Amino acid sequence: MKKTNKSTKSILFVLMLTLLAPALVIAAGTKEASGVEGTETAMPEGKTKSAKYIFLFIGDGMGLPQLNAAEAYLKAQRSSDAGIEKMNFSDFPAQGLTTTYSSNAFITDSAAAATAIACGYKTASGIISMDESKEKKYPTIAEMAKKAGMKVGILSSVNLDHATPACFYAHEPTRNNYYNINIQLAESSFDYYGGGMVRTSKTPEGEKTAHDVMKERGWQIASTREELNSLVPGKQAYAYNHGFAFNALDYTIDQESDDISLAEFTAKGIELLDNPNGFFMMIEGGKIDWACHANDAVSSIFDTFAFADAVQEAIDFYTDHPDETLIIVTGDHECGGLTLGFAGTKYSSAFDKLAEQKYSFEYFNNYVLASFKKENPNGTFSQIRSTIEEGFGLRDLSDYELSRLQSSFKESMLAKKDRSKNDQTYLIYGGYEPLTVTITHLLNQRAGLAWTSYSHTGIPVPTFALGVGAEQFNGYFDNTDIFKYMKAVMPLSAAVAMSK
């Protein structure tokens, strides 16, 4: 792993990252940069147009609160007035609300949600593009596109064998069959995979890893920016980057200059896939979800900006091909039960306070807290208090905040097996590192943000569309309809392939 000692990183760099990164990341993702205003999307009467180029962006865990929090944060960075600054896709001409339930649960998981979007069928939570009996494989829109001669790309900021991307190329009774999913990726005929590394660590002993299979099959494999840049069209390509945890990309807030962004993977995808028969590309912003499971609003916000930057690549492409391109941006479900409002702050909000957070919960766990525990096995809260102040801006603590931090610190200093496990501790810590989740809760609450869960919730998500056939995405519809609307504008050859 390339990052072994991030804790030695200079304060200056952290400061620069904090001050500059939002401005840089945000610049491309905002409304004024998008160039979509006044876009004509209505189809000429009686004429069915088809979309030769289809971009499907899925913000994992991105409900309206996640989007709105990013927009409120952006506004707070630029002005003391209340309000929002829209993301580029928030201004797309077609807008809808999408229900997300699975066939067996009001609150879906990513597997059932992505099966609905990719295949047009509801299935039970945990299943990858198969029916509830786990016998029938549903053809996916990506497979249909490939069959019809289009090129196909699957991208994600989390591991490419995670549930959402897997539902476009694999069929498995459970999302946890990582090895089988890995191998289905390596044996697929798709043209380009980009993002987080597949988990080769899940390979059973004596078996070939997905990387081995890809090498045998002559794939181009890239794991650095230089290698990514040297990929050429015409040969299957797999480009990955992995951060310090779980082989997914690092949280955007923690990324350094050698980390490849989702937008870079997307730009390369356009270059590799562009051809006279068109392409289908699915791009997942997967770490929005992971940050929200951990109730870390700031990391979710920065990953939403990175997601919008990837969307911008598609918008730029659309500008050159407005009559042949469809861009869809949706979420697969909400995560964390985030809301913009908190009992303790009543009618006040202070989103500017969030800018004080300098790294993700995961970075704090892995580098800051872990080394503190190692160096100070009997450490006290007062020893780590200034680190928390610097990392998260939690100064001038109220009695309530101090007692929450002290008690969670005590829990975090215990070995995992010695920590109390009951309903009460689950509600306040959710199985996460007690001190860290308390820090993000308190900072989020100061800003006027609050969480109700460490899991997904069942509220509908917003969906936006731009380009050919975008008008279908106006209204209140189900996630299975996204498949139907995409299918309706696929080139004729693809529609024929789908009916087989």
* CA–CA gap between residue 377 and residue 373 (Å, rounded): 5
Tell me the pairing of strands 449-450 and 339-340. Answer: antiparallel
Which helix (DSSP H) or strand (DSSP E) does residue 436 occupy?
Answer: helix 434-447
Q: What is the dihedral of CA 197, 200, 201, 202, to 10 degrees?
A: 110
Q: Interaction with Zn ion in 240-279: which residues (CB under 5 A)?
A: none
Query: Looking at beta carbons only, is 85 or 289 nearer to Zn ion?
Result: 289
Smallest separation (angstroms) from Zn ion to the CB of 27 = 29
**Based on CB atoms, which residue is closest to Zn ion, 143 or 289?**
289
- Nearest distance from residue 58's CB to Zn ion, in Å? 12
Closest-CA residue to 115 (of 89, 145, 136, 97): 136
289 binds Zn ion (CB under 5 A): yes
Question: Please, which of residues 85-124 interact with Zn ion by CB under 5 A?
Answer: none
The position carrying tokens 């509908």 is: 460
Q: Does 332 bind Zn ion (CB under 5 A)?
A: no
For the chain, count helices (H), then strands (E).
20, 14
Of 171-179, 241-249, 288-296, 381-389: span binding Zn ion (CB under 5 A): 288-296
Tell me the residue number closest to Zn ion, measured at CB.
289
- Region from 10-18, 27-35, 282-290, 390-398 binding Zn ion, contact rule CB under 5 A: 282-290
| # of chain residues touching Zn ion (CB under 5 A) | 1
Phi-psi region of 57 (alpha: psi -120 to 50; beta: other; left: phi over 0): beta
Q: Which stretch binds Zn ion (CB under 5 A): 78-86, 289-297, 420-428, 489-497?
A: 289-297
Tokens 């918008």 sit on residue: 315
Token readout for 2 is 């390339």
- Distance of alpha carbon 390 from alpha carbon 368, whole angstroms: 12
Q: How far is the CB of 14 from Zn ion (least distance, A)?
A: 28
Contact stretch for Zn ion (CB under 5 A) within 194-202, 287-295, 437-445, 486-494: 287-295
> Quick check: 284 binds Zn ion (CB under 5 A)?
no
The verdict on 324 binding Zn ion (CB under 5 A) reads no
Least CB distance from residue 161 to Zn ion, whole Å?
A: 15
CA angle 75, 79, 80 (to 5 degrees): 105
- Which C-beta is closer to Zn ion: that of 289 or that of 356? 289
Closest CB to Zn ion among residues 236, 440: 440
H-type alpha helices, 139-255: 141-147, 163-169, 178-187, 210-216, 225-229
Q: How far is the CB of 110 from Zn ion (least distance, A)?
A: 6
| Positions in the binding site for Zn ion (CB under 5 A) | 289
